[in-house]
Amino acid sequence: MKTLILSGIVATSVMGASLIDEAKNAGLKAIPANPKAVEKLTSNPKNPTTAAKVELGKMLYFEPRLSKSGLISCNTCHNLAIGGTDGMAAAIGHKWTSNPHGLSSPTVYNAVFYSQQFWDGRSPHLEDQAQGPIQAGPEMAAPKDFVTGVVTSMPQYVSAFQSAYGKDIKITFEKIADTIAVFERTLVTPSRYDAFLNGNKKALTQAEQKGLKTFIDKGCATCHNDIALGGTMQAFGVVAPYKYMNVGDFKGDKNGMVRVPTLRNVTQSAPYFHNGQIATLPEAIKEMGRIQLGVNLNDEEVTSIQTFLQSLEGKKPTIVYPMLPASTEKTPKVDVVNN
């Protein structure tokens, strides 16, 4: 009996070790276990991460007065309490405007690991991406001068920028976006999956390891790879057209490529696909198998992959809601009737 138990333990250990190698050979990478390594990986050398910048960036991330209406913040569409998204099929912005292209809000968690930002990959990094939604008419609809006027009108913000960047800092729209990005770069969620790839063979259950094996064998890792398990530009509808492609006018970039969403915390980012037309994870898995891999995944395979994906639920950083400074007489006024 002892021999059988010992043999089972050895077999499990060997399987775990070989699966780790297989995952790495398939292009899967873990978030490093060492916090210093994570910081080095996520920080922008041109705008290094500091505690002062992160705290100020968090304030600006939650600041609704950066929007023309005074109601919408970054957190409105990328809600950190519910998986970094808003749960809507299409993002809702200024004047209750639905995204004109039918696009949903992707999660901001682990976006630092993307090679490109936005569904069409038009931004190279978070600093550039942060400028877009603030100015976009269907989103926050705030001109650059309005945004800088809001921030510079409040002495507490001016002082915070000086503490973060030095007394001679010129507060520009771009610097405001850069600072939001510094905060977003800290929104990393290591999971048991990372512990497994980092060598802890017991971090995943046997069912989760089986699901990872199925995930690799079926070809899911072809697009959902690297640290983000996504984040690169890939062809969409390789084998068959996505059944809801006619919802919204988005067809990808000029080459028809679409930014692959991360699978990290995917259990918390429904509805799925760029236009949020699929409500459940099993249906999303089956549709991806059909249109990307050319396979009809059976129920057992779908359940197995879903079991693995559940292991990607990561530990989120503790976010204490910031107390924002009071408006002053110089703060741009919001016209609630015309805005």
Q: Are residues 237 and 129 in the same domain?
A: no
pTM of the predicted protein model: 0.93
- Binding residue per annotation — 74? yes
The answer to whether residues 84 and 211 belong to one domain is no
pLDDT for position 334: 82
Which helix (H) or strand (E) is 74 found in, with range? helix 74-77
For the chain, the first-to-last Cα distance in angstroms comes to: 75
Q: Which long-range contacts (C-beta less than 8 Å, at least 24 apart) are formed by 270-275?
A: 270/87, 271/87, 271/88, 271/89, 271/104, 273/104, 273/242, 273/244, 274/103, 274/104, 274/119, 274/248, 274/250, 275/89, 275/90, 275/102, 275/103, 275/104, 275/244, 275/247, 275/248, 275/250
pLDDT > 50? residue 11: no
Q: What mean pLDDT do residues 147-170 have?
A: 98
Per-residue pLDDT band for 15 (boundaries 50, 70, 90) equals low
7 band by pLDDT with thresholds 50, 70 and 90: very low
Q: Are residues 54 and 167 in the same domain?
A: yes
pLDDT exceeds cutoff 60 at 12: no
* 179 and 212 housed in the same domain: no
- Confirm whether 13 is domain-assigned: no
**CATH value at residue 47:** 1.10.760.10
pLDDT in tens, 225-279: 999 999 999 999 999 999 999 999 999 999 999 999 999 999 999 999 999 999 9
Task: Taking residues 5-14, report their average pLDDT.
Answer: 48
User: Is 274 marked as binding a ligand?
Assistant: no
The residue segments making up the domain with residue 142 are: 37-184
Same domain, yes or no: 42 and 167: yes
Helices 299-310 + 281-288 axis angle, to 10: 120
Task: Give backbone dihedrals phi and psi of 136, rounded to 5 degrees, phi first.
Answer: -65, 130
Q: Specify the higher pLDDT residue, 1 or 65.
A: 65
Per-residue b or e along 23-34, where b marks 16 or more CB atoms closer than 10 Å to that residue's CB: beebebebbbee
Q: Is the pLDDT of residue 9 over 90?
A: no
The residues that are catalytic are 139
In the three-class reduction of DSSP (H, G, I as helix; E, B as strand; rest coil), residue 55 is classed as helix
Average pLDDT, the chain: 94
Q: Residue 146: inside a domain, yes or no?
A: yes
Percent of the chain at pLDDT > 70 equals 94
pLDDT digits (tens, 9 = 90+) for 55-66: 999 999 999 999
Residue 108 falls within a domain, yes or no?
A: yes
Same domain, 205 and 178: no
Question: Which of 132, 156, 184 lies at the terminal end of a domain, its last residue?
Answer: 184
Three-state DSSP state, 259: strand
Q: Is 288 annotated as ligand-binding? A: yes
**Domain final position from 120, 150, 184:** 184
> Is residue 324 assigned to a domain?
no
Name the nearest CA neighbour of 93 among 128, 145, 129, 142.
Answer: 142
Domain tally, the chain = 2
